Chains A and B, each alone.
Chain A
Amino acid sequence: MIETMSLGRDFKVRGAVVAAVHDLTFRVEAGEFVGCLGPNGAGKSTTIKMLTGILTPTRGRASVAGLDPARQRKTLARRIGVVFGQRTTLWWDLPLRDSFELVRLLYKVDRSRFTARLAELTEVLDLGPFLRTPVRQLSLGQRMRGDITAALLHDPEVLVLDEPTIGLDVVAKAEVRSFLARLNADRGTTVLLTTHDLGDVERLCRRVLLIDHGRLAFDGSVPELRALVPGQESIEDVVAHLYLSSTPAAPRTPRRTPDADPPTVTA
């Protein structure tokens, strides 16, 4: 469903060329729930932006739902949903319901399918009380539920979320998490999310990709991640240990099947 091959992106910073992402190769199968971890500036967002067509890769290639994101961005947009935790895709001054209507028109979603899907999402995410409220008056938790709904109205095969739980309170976080888990289990939607919240990872992700210095430093399950640093109780400590001890990693071979292989570690 998602595949990258030696994917890389450089940025020019004050004359010097810096590789934000280096030679990234991984593969996510349909129906997986994958979390992308890594310290600030590791290249997570750059990777997500290349997968969604926002950034054009400098090297290598990516394929999402069988499409080349940079070249087929608009076609891809109809097949994936994207949520940015740090910014909204909703129309600030309009009632939430109007933003959804606009999504329907822009994505050319059939009216009856839209109505059914919105009714379903309204119930599951409890949007009813604020559907008529202008987006600027929503709380962060309400807005995030609205953003997730907007990303799912066209029924995408893949949902990509960049820090979806950032800034949310405990209750709102729990709601978002249980919704994403259900979406993945019931509809089989492939989910890829980046986060700094290890609760997201422990509760949701069957597979973790650790990106560091623009390279894939770990690819495996949460128990496998824990096993990397023996003697640490909490997953926070495990990850902190990995971040602190990280050095630019050597290129690694891609991992093919998500569950059969042992974890590969270069960090």
Chain B
Amino acid sequence: MGDYLLLAWTWARASAQYRTSFVVSIVSSFAINALDVIAIGIVFTHVTTLGGFSLREVMFLYGTGGVSFALADLLFGNIERLSQHIRAGTFDTMLIRPVSPFVQMAADGFGAHRIGRLAQAAIVLGLALPVVPWSRAWMVPVMILCGIVIFTAVFTLGAALQFVLVDAPELANAFTYGGVTLTQYPLSVYGEQLVRGVTYIVPLAFVNWQPALYVLGRPDPLGLPGWLRFAAPLAALLLAGAAALAWRAGLRRYRSTGS
């Protein structure tokens, strides 16, 4: 933890050496993500509900999924750059330090520019909060925390895969960046098989969908068991455990570079 903060601070200082690029990247990441919200707004100028959810409710899903992802990405997202470090040989230099290579990778190149995405998602969530009844508000921080864990685990699984398939970071991106897009809409707009897949296989449904059904007091459109909406912590722990095992297995298979 201390090592993470230390390294993150160091990298933030290093990136601040390039001030213009720093400001440009914050602004552009904010703007790119704002386009997402505008797209949802445009959809609602034509319809009043999306998959049975009102604009505010969709914004709640978008905001919780977005904040979870933005925080996971800000704190640990850099882990997905593992294959670049393997190819450049810089991963070797992380392995000779008395600090977990996971922590070093996560903090490597820590860029405050990712705050742009976080700010945007937080604003959307803030605007959506009036739909949350007081008695169920406790679930909001719980689901955001579980979402961070789930996205971080998915990032880690993708990184672990890169130990074996150095050329395949794109596959992991399908689950991380694809995953965040998926969680930004009510899952009821997708096909039933996909929803079952992200509930029972890659548990992205627990990032926000299942807990949000509780928060918004909605029945499950697919009729899945009611206890699932409280299962996010369990799903997050299971996935995190799987990710930790995969990371260790990958590290043992690490083959470095030729020189």
Residues of A within 8 A of B (CB): 11, 41, 45-46, 49, 52-56, 70, 73-75, 77-78, 80, 82, 84, 86-89, 91-94, 98, 102, 105-108, 134
Q: Give the CA-CA distance A260 to B34 in the complex, in Å.
A: 75
Residue in A closest to B11 when the chains form the complex, CB atoms: A91
Q: Give CA–CA (A74, B88) in the complex, Å.
A: 22
Q: Are B256 and A49 in contact (CB under 8 A)?
A: yes
B residues near A70, Cβ cutoff 8 Å: 252
Which listed residue (B92, B100, B252, B253) contacts A87, Cβ 8 A? B92
Interface centre among B17, B92, B93, B100, by most chain A C-beta atoms within 10 angstroms, is B92
Q: Are A74 and B98 in contact (CB under 8 A)?
A: yes
Task: Closest B residue to A49 by CB, please name it.
Answer: B256
Q: Are B98 and A93 in contact (CB under 8 A)?
A: no
Instruction: Give the contacting residue for A74; candidates B89, B100, B253, B256; CB below 8 A.
Output: B100
Asked if residues A94 and B6 are in contact (CB atoms below 8 Å), the reply is: no
Cβ of B259 < 8 Å from any Cβ of A? yes
Chain B positions 209-259 with a Cβ under 8 Å from a chain A Cβ = 251-256, 258-259
Complex Cα spacing A45 to B89, Å: 12
Candidate in A56, A78, A106 with the most chain B CB atoms within 10 angstroms: A106
A-B residue pairs in contact (CB < 8 Å), sample of 19: A41-B258, A52-B96, A54-B96, A56-B252, A73-B95, A74-B100, A75-B98, A78-B98, A84-B89, A84-B92, A84-B93, A87-B92, A89-B96, A91-B14, A93-B17, A105-B3, A105-B6, A106-B7, A106-B98
Residue of A nearest to B15 (CB): A93
Closest to A52 in B: B96
Chain B, range 4-44, C-beta contacts under 8 Å to A: 6-7, 10, 13-15, 17
Contact of B14 among A82, A93, A107 (CB under 8 A): A93
The binding surface of chain B is classed by DSSP as helix
Question: When A77-B97, A86-B259, A106-B98 are in contact, do A94 and B10 touch as well, CB less than 8 Å?
Answer: yes
- Contact indicator A106/B3 (Cβ below 8 Å): yes
CA distance A19 to B228 in the complex (A): 50
B54 lies within 8 A of chain A by Cβ: no
CB nearest neighbor in A for B89: A87
The residue in B3, B13, B93 that gathers the most chain A C-beta atoms within 10 A of its C-beta is B93
Q: Which residues of B contact A80 (CB under 8 A)?
A: 96
Closest to B10 in A: A102
Q: Is the CB of A89 within 8 A of B93?
A: yes
Given A77-B98, A98-B10, A102-B6, residue A87 in contact with residue B254 (CB < 8 A) = no
Q: Which of B14, B97, B253 contacts A106 (CB 8 A)?
A: B97
| Chain B residues numbered 68-108 whose CB sits less than 8 Å from any CB in chain A | 88-90, 92-93, 95-100
> Nearest chain B CB to A137's CB is how many angstroms away?
12
With A74-B98, A75-B98 in contact, do A55 and B6 touch (Cβ < 8 Å)? no
Contact B93 A87 (CB under 8 A): yes
* In contact, A49 and B6 (Cβ under 8 angstroms): no
Instruction: Using CB atoms, name the residue of chain B closest to A74.
Output: B98
**Bound Cα distance A250, B254 (Å):** 28
Closest chain B residue, CB of each to CB of A147 = B93
Please, which residue of chain A has its CB at the minimum distance from the CB of B3? Answer: A106
Which residues of B sit under 8 angstroms from A106, Cβ to Cβ? 3, 6-7, 97-99
In the bound complex, residues from chain B placing their C-beta under 8 Å from that of A107 are: 97-98
Question: What separation, in Å, do the CA atoms of A108 and B6 have in the docked complex?
Answer: 12
Chain B proximity of A173: nearest CB distance (Å): 19
Contact A56 B96 (CB under 8 A): no
Contact A92 B93 (CB under 8 A): no
In contact, B14 and A92 (Cβ under 8 angstroms): yes
CB distance from B217 to the nearest CB of A (A): 49
Contacts of A91 in B (CB 8 A): 10, 14
Contact B14 A54 (CB under 8 A): no
Determine how close the nearest CB of chain A comes to the CB of B234; give it in whole angstroms: 31
Beyond A54-B96, A84-B93, whether A94 also contacts B256 by CB under 8 A is no
User: CA separation between A78 and B99, bound complex, in Å?
Assistant: 10
Query: Is the pair B92, A49 in contact by a Cβ cutoff of 8 Å?
Result: yes
Inter-subunit contact A55/B98 (CB<8 Å): no
Q: In the complex the two chains form, is B254's CB within 8 Å of A55's CB?
A: yes
Q: A75-B98, A86-B259 are in contact. Are A94 and B13 (CB under 8 A)?
A: yes
- How far is A86 from B89 in the complex, measured between Cα atoms in Å? 9
B122 CB to closest chain A CB, in angstroms? 29
Q: Name the B residues within 8 Å of A52 (CB-CB).
A: 95-96
Q: Known: A54-B256, A55-B256, A93-B17. Is A82-B96 also a contact (CB below 8 A)?
A: yes
